[in-house]
Amino acid sequence: MKNKQLYAGKLILVIGLAKSGLAASKLLHKLGAKVVVNDQKPLEENVQASELHQLGIEVICGGHPMDLLDRNFDLVVKNPGIPYSNPLISGAIRKGISVVTEVEVANMISEAEMIAITGSNGKTTTTTLVYGMLKNSGRQPLIAGNIGTVACEVAETATTDHIIVTEVSSFQLMGTENFHPKVAVFLNLFDAHLDYHGTREEYGAAKAKIFANLYSDDYAIVNADDDDVMRLSANVRGEKIPFSVNKIVESGAYIFDNYVYFNNEKIIALEEIVLPGAHNLENILAAVCAAKVTGARTEKIVEVLSSFNGVKHRTQFVTTINGRKFYNDSKATNMLATKVAVSAFRQPVILIAGGLDRGNDFDELIPTLEKLKGIVVYGETAPKLALAAKKAGLTFIETVNNVNEAVNIAYEHSQSGDVILLSPACASWDQFKTFEERGDTFIESVYKLEK
């Protein structure tokens, strides 16, 4: 670790536990800080707080008492999910106390350079691709952040031989001051998390903090097809590396004559790329840029792109059974995500959709449903989805009780060459605890067809 004395003797308040708060508390305690942990969950129900208490760290649980701020803390480290409207957070800011998130701490003590990847969509896929390209090229990458291990835990053991590849959200970036990646990737900007940020402008400004501390010899990888990204990156100090699926760009990645190019070097034919979907081409181009500027070899990039079949639960290829290809897109918890998933395929698609009813109808999905061969619906939203499918003119519409039945019915009504896609367009909480559990159930049901 570098800057080992940076936090020594400092009085630091960690608000909110979960994985990031737990890791930050342990690291700061190890570095000699006087750590006070505050979490909403009562101590008797709080395994993480009890663990920290056993280490000799002061824990205050069951609420956020305002008199904590009377202690004149040097720093507040907050869980990214806690809004800035929280009285304790806003009170600390009014007192002039720096409020940061765990990725700031990780970056400050890491000996390894960092590739940081943000955007409204595609972060996890891009992060995974970059990691694979660098690993295959012998660059000793470590993966951290929202995907993989908490950044503090990775940074604590990283050396100058490593490079940390981390997915960072707007929530995390908003709580940064000196955060300095070697490579900053900004994929795209769509309306999201406006309940947290308030406006699209504030959301974009939080994302753009990924560029705030770049040096002239750092890299800013930007989507040349996204006007917001280009506007927010207009004054970056690092070398700007653009990528585009629509045009040829200088010193960056682009598509020409059905090939991926980087800086005029032919990388791979589009037909050799396994990952489906036009939307994933942006992720692939961004990953190629990040990998190339950090030393990945072209042949190793090709190996990854010709074998990588997707991040689990995100348009993930599962298997082929009697000519039917099965894809798990359980992460699609809204209509936009399902639109994107369906548009990724040229083959006939039978869609499996449904889940928690949040009160909306699905008329917005009708143009997408018109492209389908058929649909199998389940869960609380099954009647609404079936109605939208009927409006779209589909003739094959089946309503079932659960995902397992949906897989069986979809398979029975499919033929060789079809795609069977789980892309629910709904949250999972009517029948599952998480979208991951839903996706795993789908995968298990698919493999049962082979038995």
378's tokens: 């389940």
SS3 for 202-216, per residue? HHHHHHHHHHCCCCC
Give the CA distances from residue 246 to residues 254, 256, 260, 301, in Å, rounded to whole numbers and listed in that order.
8, 9, 12, 21
Give the CA distances from residue 166 to residues 19, 77, 114, 310, in Å, rounded to whole numbers and listed in that order.
15, 19, 7, 17
315 known ligand binder: no
User: Residue 88: which H helix or E strand, with range?
Assistant: helix 87-94
Please tell me the distance from the alpha carbon of residue 192 to that of residue 170, in angstroms, as a whole number: 10
Please tell me the distance from the alpha carbon of residue 174 to that of residue 281, in angstroms, as a whole number: 28
122 known ligand binder: yes
- Residue type at 291? A
| Region of residue 417 (phi > 0: left; psi between -120 and 50: alpha; otherwise: beta) | left
448's tokens: 């049962």
Please tell me the distance from the alpha carbon of residue 115 to that of residue 292, in angstroms, as a whole number: 12
> Residue 435 CA to chain centroid, in angstroms?
14
3-state secondary structure at position 27 = helix
3-state secondary structure at position 91 = helix
Give the CA distances from residue 64 to residues 49, 262, 290, in Å, rounded to whole numbers and listed in that order.
14, 51, 41
446's tokens: 């698919």
Please tell me the distance from the alpha carbon of residue 288 to that of residue 431, in angstroms, as a whole number: 39
121 known ligand binder: yes
With contact defined as beta carbons under 8 Å apart, do 26 and 48 qualify? no
Please tell me the distance from the alpha carbon of residue 229 to that of residue 170, in angstroms, as a whole number: 14
Strands 324-328 and 349-354 come out as unpaired
20 known ligand binder: no
Smallest CA-to-CA distance from 104 within 154, 21, 166, 176 is with 176
10's tokens: 């400092």
280 known ligand binder: no
104 forms beta bridges with none
Question: What residue numbers does the annotated binding site for ATP cover?
Answer: 119-125
Question: What residue numbers does the annotated binding site cover?
Answer: 119-125
